[in-house]
Amino acid sequence: MKQKMFAAVCAAVLAVCPLAGCGAAGSEEQEAVKMEDLPYGSTITEDSTRNITIAFDKRFLDDALLDRIVSYYESIQNRDAEEFKSVVFPLYHNYEISTVYEDKVTEQDLLDTTYDAIKEYFGYDFDFAYLNVEECVMKDGISGERDTMIQFLDDLAAEKGEKKISEDTGALYEMSVKRHVAEKGSGNRTETLDELDSETLYAIQYQGEWYLMYT
């Protein structure tokens, strides 16, 4: 389940698919599916009020989480280690630094490596222009990795003698985010042709606050 952050540099188009439910065979009327019963991606909102335009399904992602997602990508494009640390879930991030990277890198190293890899891929200094949260898994039984993430976090907490993370977790999402870039300073905030493959981000609402976890 673990991958280095910069390995996902070549890591969202949402499927817009309004659905309608049909009545029983022979029925003369069709019953509309309730909005809350439609899957993620059935209704799309494009928000350009933040520094990076973001497309998402507003029925599932609130403003606080959107702020975190945008801040995460701003921290990469600006190589801002302090902003990055304020967004990621501390327990998970510390595990990444100490175990996956064996304490051989800092947050600044992670950001520099990620930024430089994307810059090399496109051949120019960049800003994120447009983010598309194309998928969001919120329930058990759909993604094996999401299903085991909360237990993984509980195990990390137990190793430190701390309270189970699950006891204070309001929600856990597995998101797929496609990233579009433009030349740095261009001010472009549209769905550019220069895009990276979708990457997976986890969002956890812990003690009322949203945090992100990268893979």
pLDDT at position 46 is 95
Span 31-52, average pLDDT: 80
Assess whether pLDDT exceeds 80 at residue 30: no
**For residue 5, what are the CA distances in angstroms to 111, 158, 184?**
9, 25, 22
Would you place residue 40 in the very low, low, confident or very high pLDDT band (cuts 50, 70, 90)? confident
By mean pLDDT, which of 22-36, 63-77, 95-109, 168-182 is the weakest?
A: 22-36
Cα(58)–Cα(38) distance, integer angstroms: 12
pLDDT, tens digit, 9 for 90 and up, residues 116-143: 999 999 999 999 999 999 998 877 655 6
Residue type, 73: Y
Question: Taking Cα atoms as reference points, which of 202, 110, 109, 98 lies closest to residue 156?
Answer: 98
Count how many domains the chain has: 1
Span 105-120, average pLDDT: 97
172 DSSP β-pair partners: 204
Would you place residue 148 in the very low, low, confident or very high pLDDT band (cuts 50, 70, 90)? confident
Quick one: tokens of 190? 């549209």
Containing domain of residue 198, as a range?
5-21+30-214
